[in-house]
Structure 1
Amino acid sequence: MSVESPDTSAQAPKSDPTPINKPHNPPSRWGTVARDIVSSNASVVVFAVIAALLMAAVLVAAANAEVQRTAGYIFARPTDFFTAVWDSVSGAYWSLFRGSIYDPEAPTFLRQIKPITETLTAATPLIFAGLGLGIGFRSGMFNIGAQGQVILGATISAFIGFTFQLPVGLHLLVAVLGGVLGGAVWAGIAGYLKAQFGANEVIVTIMLNSIAGFLMSYLLTTDLFKREGSNNPISQRIDSDAMFPQFLGSEFRLHLGFVLALVVAWGVWWLLERSTLGFKFRAVGLNADAARTAGIKVNRIYLYVMLVAGGLAGLGGVSQTLGTEGVLQEGVAGSIGFDAITVALLGRSRPMGIVGAAILFGALRAGSPLMQTASNTPVDIVQVVQALVVLLIAAPPLVRAIFRLPAPRKEGAA
């Protein structure tokens, strides 16, 4: 007797051939690039700086008149050529050291240590702006609007500094907070547009950079900002009560803003590595879709990231107006916002790395005038070094190929 097998086709659940469309936001290409660069090995960063200095040495030698003269008879007396190359390169870098770290040829001790104070002064706004950009990079946002945020921070802090009369201490505090608020609001515009409408932060921040520059130029032509009796685009002098105190007297420009930068760097480290909000920042930067699935409000995090980043960049402008300049004028921000991109990438978006990278770039700035005058080296060589650092940091495989560094192991590799 045959036993019929029961028909289970009616009981078995039917598979739905229609795929379920899950929301998926592809990561920003700029955010992916920034994440790849930031995650590169520290040895790649070190060797990138070394390679940049070696390439710049070739340019220093090529621009030297004695090297060019001895190259005409290099096959007859090659020692003359190589001696000239060594003298030009070593002289240029020795002058860079004397102008940025320590000058043993200065007549007094104060003059000998003044170069390092100039380096730290130049590094202060780069630390602030670099920290702001580093937070954005680790959160998956390629914020390149630090220049505009620096300008807004400088503008508002200067306005508070020369307009209001407040008690000592309170005046400086209010001016600093005003600059932080100005930078945060300016960056918050890009954060809100990205969170609400999905606008690309790269394009928005580029536009905001231009708007901030033109806005400051316009304000310096108004009676509210323009110095009385002057036709130049320069503001009134900021009240001394609103200025950062100087460490070593009026002969040196190093001010309390550098200490504040170190404190803020520690605060950013704590925010990213020890706080819940910082964990959300990093989670969104690693994988926004996974963070959203875990319950993190990604769009809100985008806004928070830009507010924090803008406030930090605004402090860079504050350190310029309330620390070194004492006035608001055209070019007060220089190229701080753009140099901070290199600083953040060179520091791998880690606070301590950013501080070190900012000091390196501050040394290049402080030492370049003496390098130009003492060794007849074009000051543009410093800009070339910075550009080469950016190029090499942005191409980790190239650095590994030049120095034969091992490739990073992939996840899951033995």
Structure 2
Amino acid sequence: MIARWRGAVLAPVLAIVVAALLCAVALLISGSSPLTALTTLVGQIGSGTVVVDTINSASVYYVAALAVAIGFQMKLFNIGVEGQYRVAACVAAIVGGTVVLPPVLHTIVILVVAVLAGTAWVAVPALLKAYRGVSEVISTIMLNAVAIGMIAFLISPDTFGKLAGNNITTPPIPESGWFPGIPVGSGEIFGMVLVAAALGVGYWFLLSRTRFGFELKASGESPTAAAAGGVNARRMILVALLTSGAVAGLVGLPELLGRDHAYTLVSPQGYGFTGIAVALLGRNHPVGIALGALLWAFLDKAAVALDVVGVPREIVLIMQGLIVLSVVVAYEIVRRAGQRAEQRRVAAAPAPSTETAEAAT
């Protein structure tokens, strides 16, 4: 009971306190007032379209973090989410802008293509890891570089792209393939937010209510014990990485289907790496990841307001890094403190008497 209290209450509180102190120190070093920064951040809540923009960005970060968290559950580091979602978004945009289908069906086809493309892009690292023991970190990060070249080829005017001013873009997706948004005040929330929420529920159900989820976590905690219990380690590696890639394929779709409707040379980048930070911040828990995604997105949107009051906008990057570092360190400190407390409790427990030992035998 005490150990559970430590993990559920003490660790988050410690992380918040440490993060607040470190961020205050960083602001003071930069010559800015922590109070001014805090007042400005709080004032952004409800200002203009900040809330809508925050939710939209958070939905993208959330899907990216879920893709990373699936691998984390088995101690697999899929650092290739960046390449997987960019290739998937590009391929989905090409298909969506080429085919002619009725509404709803058109959108579904784009979603399926993105999932299949993300799965296919991670298939090579998954097979190398399962059958040859190649580090997924090395193979996936190398494929990120390959993805850049692949996208450049796909959207070049000689293949599927076309010139649009100083930019190169895929054929625009007709309105039949768009994902309708949710009007809120002066803005519009991406309709894919509902898909992101469904993915979160599915992630929770998979880990908490299915045999596969139990085997996945067991394999991550102790591969040897899991293998002794009949878990096929090779199959688990394949399924975990392929599922991670499938979810990664959906990362770019909220913006593709809700705002841009085409993939271009200037399409957003970096969401895969942000997903790693958000997954760490949320401790791989669906609710924790959602809160982490909202916090990360809010800080991104508030950076402009900080710049206006004289606080360097780069300080937001420092704050985000310090928050993640504080969470990781705080949970590790609480975990080790719990281990030491348990060791002391076991050491202080009275040894069984001779009569009890004989009766047990």
Indicate the TM-score class for this superposition, using the shorter chain for normalisation: 0.7 to 0.9
Residues 340-379 of structure 1 correspond to what in structure 2 (within 5 A)?
A: 340-373=275-308, 375-379=309-313
Of 68, 91, 100, which residue of structure 2 is paired with 1:156? 91
Give the match for residue 58 of structure 1. 25
Give the match for residue 48 of structure 1. 15
CA distance in structure 2 between the partners assigned to 1:53 and 1:324 by the alignment: 35
CA contact (8 A) 1:392 1:399 kept: no
Deviates more, 1:90-99 or 1:271-280: 90-99
CA distance in structure 2 between the partners assigned to 1:333 and 1:370 by the alignment: 21
Taking structure 1 as reference, are residues 93 and 242 closer, same or farther at Cα in structure 2, changes over 3 Å only?
farther
Name the aligned partner's letter for residue 332 of structure 1: S
CA contact (8 A) 2:167 2:265 kept: no
CA contact (8 A) 1:172 1:244 kept: yes
Name the aligned partner's letter for residue 407 of structure 1: A
Residues 23-34 of structure 1 correspond to what in structure 2 (within 5 A)?
A: none
Once the two structures are TM-superposed, the CA of residue 46 in structure 1 deviates from its matched residue by 4.5
Once the two structures are TM-superposed, the CA of residue 263 in structure 1 deviates from its matched residue by 1.1
Give the match for residue 338 of structure 2. 408
CA distance in structure 2 between the partners assigned to 1:238 and 1:171 by the alignment: 10
Give the match for residue 36 of structure 2. 91
CA distance in structure 2 between the partners assigned to 1:42 and 1:185 by the alignment: 41
Name the aligned partner's letter for residue 232 of structure 1: N
Residues 260-409 of structure 1 correspond to what in structure 2 (within 5 A)?
A: 260-373=195-308, 375-396=309-330, 407-409=337-339
Unpaired segments ≥5 residues, structure 2: 1-5, 347-361
| Moved segments of 4+, more than 4 Å | 39-42, 397-400, 410-414
Cα offsets for 1:239-280 (capped at 9, x unmatched): 222222111179424111111111110011001111121111
CA contact (8 A) 1:45 1:346 kept: no
CA distance in structure 1 between the partners assigned to 2:16 and 2:149 by the alignment: 35
Once the two structures are TM-superposed, the CA of residue 144 in structure 1 deviates from its matched residue by 1.3
CA contact (8 A) 2:190 2:255 kept: no
Once the two structures are TM-superposed, the CA of residue 135 in structure 1 deviates from its matched residue by 1.2
Cα offsets for 1:347-377 (capped at 9, x unmatched): 111111111111111111121122212x121
CA distance in structure 2 between the partners assigned to 1:327 and 1:381 by the alignment: 32
Give the match for residue 210 of structure 1. 145
Taking structure 1 as reference, are residues 406 and 185 closer, same or farther at Cα in structure 2, changes over 3 Å only?
closer
Once the two structures are TM-superposed, the CA of residue 210 in structure 1 deviates from its matched residue by 1.4
Cα offsets for 1:323-343 (capped at 9, x unmatched): 233221235342111111111
Taking structure 1 as reference, are residues 174 and 191 closer, same or farther at Cα in structure 2, changes over 3 Å only?
same
Deviates more, 1:88-97 or 1:278-287: 88-97
CA distance in structure 1 between the partners assigned to 2:339 and 2:314 by the alignment: 38
> Identity, % of aligned pairs?
31
1:121 is paired with a residue of what secondary structure? helix
CA distance in structure 2 between the partners assigned to 1:47 and 1:280 by the alignment: 31
- TM-score with structure 2 setting the length: 0.86
Once the two structures are TM-superposed, the CA of residue 160 in structure 1 deviates from its matched residue by 2.1
2:156 is paired with a residue of what secondary structure? coil
Deviates more, 1:238-247 or 1:228-237: 228-237
Name the aligned partner's letter for residue 409 of structure 1: Q
Taking structure 1 as reference, are residues 60 and 263 closer, same or farther at Cα in structure 2, changes over 3 Å only?
same
CA distance in structure 2 between the partners assigned to 1:136 and 1:40 by the alignment: 22
Residue 143 in 1 paired to residue 143 in 2? no
CA contact (8 A) 2:172 2:261 kept: yes
Give the match for residue 69 of structure 2. 134
Q: Pairwise CA RMSD of aligned residues?
A: 2.5
CA contact (8 A) 2:14 2:330 kept: no
Once the two structures are TM-superposed, the CA of residue 406 in structure 1 deviates from its matched residue by 8.1
CA contact (8 A) 1:244 1:322 kept: yes
CA contact (8 A) 2:52 2:184 kept: no
CA distance in structure 2 between the partners assigned to 1:341 and 1:173 by the alignment: 27
Name the aligned partner's letter for residue 357 of structure 1: G
CA contact (8 A) 2:281 2:328 kept: no
Give the match for residue 102 of structure 1. 46
Of 154, 157, 161, which residue of structure 2 is paired with 1:226? 161
Cα offsets for 1:273-300 (capped at 9, x unmatched): 1112111111111111111121111101
Name the aligned partner's letter for residue 59 of structure 1: A
Taking structure 1 as reference, are residues 53 and 238 closer, same or farther at Cα in structure 2, changes over 3 Å only?
farther
Taking structure 1 as reference, are residues 132 and 47 closer, same or farther at Cα in structure 2, changes over 3 Å only?
same
CA contact (8 A) 1:40 1:396 kept: no
CA distance in structure 2 between the partners assigned to 1:229 and 1:143 by the alignment: 34
Once the two structures are TM-superposed, the CA of residue 409 in structure 1 deviates from its matched residue by 2.8
- TM-score with structure 1 setting the length: 0.75
Q: How many equivalent pairs are there?
A: 339
